[in-house]
């Protein structure tokens, strides 16, 4: 039986609990035989666990073993379509054999991460569509949940927002005239191709509550095909608190409905975390709730929860919320390997929220966000918060893995 991590514990030891039910169980639903998939453990993680046991620190070893034995996503990043088909087929076969639901993070868009720490991806539209075809060929009729392109809608090359202004991601290699439109074309193709499979759920990038405003991300989601998908995902590889994502996700969902069914095109009118709420004062977020209660739930053609877009939340590292640096840096990079963060709510489809389909561990806890220098240029790339050069993006970060265990947070308030 799979292990899960739960609660705030006084020591570094983490409790082992049965894994939660997979997709399909709504709020309050009973657990079923279906569980989220537990992938193979990273070799470096296994080595760290073995080293801890050899040193006599069995308690920490058991905690780390519990963490890596918790259901989490499998990132699909290889650029070769044949390799993708082979690896995804193997993953979905193993998951089916265990009666588990695999979560696949598909990550191969051209100019992904705007050529930053997680740079890479396909070289053109045709190549990306072929890659998606290969992903679909690996899934076939087996159950899978696809988290489609983290940051894919948060960072778009040569994109203009609702305000008409050109955004910061302007790679010289991309065609300024077509890059943004091609991003939406590729995501739309991916949604259609993957949703044509009989047992695949697809979620698009909805960023998180400390990033884009509600109307901005709602407009991008609609352009990318969210109404043909199962919904959107929030907080991937980030640290924002679950309670804030639940509100933000509900606003994005209602804004999509408002700007497509009630007042078509009026994304800019949607209330958000910025107005009438104040983003830094959670006690004001009820003001935005009230706007949606009046303008969506109170509308003549008010939607049911089934008519609204659903969402999933990455809770892998948000148990303590976002990092607030105590030192001053040229660029603090608060999203990049912040210290003193903790594991969040364990994966479950029983979220207690009508629109939240699941809490998931999408970013693999213990894997680095990249080589974070905090904007310093004369210290050889050393991260001053960890006093070392951080592992490359996706590499195992042993110090951070133990930090996440020590600071494991409480489940989100319901």
Residue 251 domain flag:
yes
**7 is a domain residue:** no
What is the C-alpha end-to-end distance of the chain, expressed in Å?
27
Alpha-carbon dihedral 48, 53, 57, 63, rounded to 10 degrees: 60
For the four alpha carbons of 24, 233, 196 and 254, in that order, the dihedral sign comes to: positive
* Overall number of domains in the chain: 1
**For residue 12, is it within any domain?**
no
Please give the pLDDT value at position 285.
98
* pLDDT for the residue numbered 319: 96
- CATH number of domain containing 248: 3.20.20.40
Q: What is the pLDDT of residues 327-373, one digit of tens each?
A: 999 999 999 999 999 999 999 999 999 999 999 999 999 999 999 99
pLDDT of residue 412: 36
Q: Is residue 25 part of a domain?
A: no
DSSP string, 309-368: PEEEEE-SS-TT-S---SS--SS--TTSS-SS----SPPBS--S-SSEEEEE--S-TTB-
Q: Is the dihedral of CA 341, 119, 45, 16 positive or negative?
A: positive
In tens digits, what is the pLDDT along the chain, a chain of 414 residues? 333 344 333 233 343 333 333 333 333 333 444 499 999 999 999 999 999 999 999 999 999 999 999 999 999 999 999 999 999 999 999 999 999 999 999 999 999 888 665 567 899 999 999 999 999 999 999 999 999 999 999 999 999 999 999 999 999 999 999 999 999 999 999 999 999 999 999 999 999 999 999 999 999 999 999 999 999 999 999 999 999 999 999 999 999 999 999 999 999 999 999 999 999 999 999 999 999 999 999 999 999 999 999 999 999 999 999 999 999 999 999 999 999 999 999 999 999 999 999 999 999 999 999 999 999 999 899 999 999 999 999 999 999 999 999 999 754 332
Predicted structure pTM score: 0.91
Q: How far is CA 20 from CA 73, 225, 364, in A?
A: 15, 29, 17
Task: State residue 115's pLDDT score.
Answer: 65
Contact (Cβ atoms closer than 8 angstroms) between residue 114 and residue 155: yes
Domain that holds residue 68: 35-406
Instruction: Write down the pLDDT at residue 117.
Output: 58
Question: Residue 10 falls within a domain, yes or no?
Answer: no
Q: Is residue 28 part of a domain?
A: no
pLDDT of residue 29: 38
Nearest in space to 130 (alpha carbons), one of 189, 205, 204, 86: 189
């Amino acid at each position: 039986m799979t292990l899960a991590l739960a609660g705030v514990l006084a020591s570094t030891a983490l409790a082992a609990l049965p894994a939660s039910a997979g997709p399909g169980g709504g709020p309050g639903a009973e657990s079923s035989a279906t569980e989220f998939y537990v992938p193979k453990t990273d070799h470096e993680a296994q080595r760290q666990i073995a080293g801890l046991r050899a040193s006599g620190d069995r308690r920490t070893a058991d905690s780390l073993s519990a963490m890596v034995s918790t259901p989490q996503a499998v990132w699909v990043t290889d650029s070769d379509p044949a390799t993708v088909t082979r690896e995804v087929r193997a993953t979905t076969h193993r998951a089916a054999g265990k009666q588990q639901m695999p979560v696949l993070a598909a990550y191969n868009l051209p100019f992904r991460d705007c050529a930053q720490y997680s740079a890479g991806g396909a070289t053109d539209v045709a190549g990306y569509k072929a890659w998606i075809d290969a992903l679909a060929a690996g899934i076939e009729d087996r159950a899978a949940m696809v988290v489609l392109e983290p940051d894919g809608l948060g960072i778009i090359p040569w994109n203009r927002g609702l305000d008409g202004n050109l955004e910061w991601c302007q790679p010289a290699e991309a065609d300024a005239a077509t890059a943004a439109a091609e991003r939406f074309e590729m995501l739309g193709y991916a949604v259609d191709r993957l949703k044509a499979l009989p047992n695949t759920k697809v979620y698009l990038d909805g960023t998180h509550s400390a990033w884009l405003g509600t109307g901005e991300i709602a407009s991008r989601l609609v352009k990318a095909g969210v109404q043909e998908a199962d919904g959107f995902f929030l907080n991937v590889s980030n640290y924002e608190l679950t309670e804030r994502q639940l509100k933000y996700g509900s606003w994005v969902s209602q804004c999509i409905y408002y700007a497509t069914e009630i007042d078509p095109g009026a994304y800019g009118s949607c209330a958000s975390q910025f107005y009438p709420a104040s983003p830094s004062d959670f006690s004001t977020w009820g003001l935005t709730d009230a706007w949606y209660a009046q303008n969506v739930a109170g509308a003549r053609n008010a939607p049911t929860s089934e008519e609204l877009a659903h969402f999933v939340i990455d809770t892998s590292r948000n148990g303590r919320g976002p990092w607030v640096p105590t030192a001053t840096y040229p660029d603090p990079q608060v999203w990049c390997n912040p210290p003193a963060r903790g594991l969040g709510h364990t994966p479950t489809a029983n979220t207690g929220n009508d629109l939240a389909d699941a809490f998931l561990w999408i970013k693999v806890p213990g894997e680095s966000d990249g080589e974070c220098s905090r904007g310093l240029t004369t210290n050889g790339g050393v991260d001053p918060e960890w006093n070392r050069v951080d592992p490359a993006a996706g590499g195992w970060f042993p110090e951070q893995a133990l930090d996440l265990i020590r600071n494991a947070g409480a489940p989100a308030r319901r």
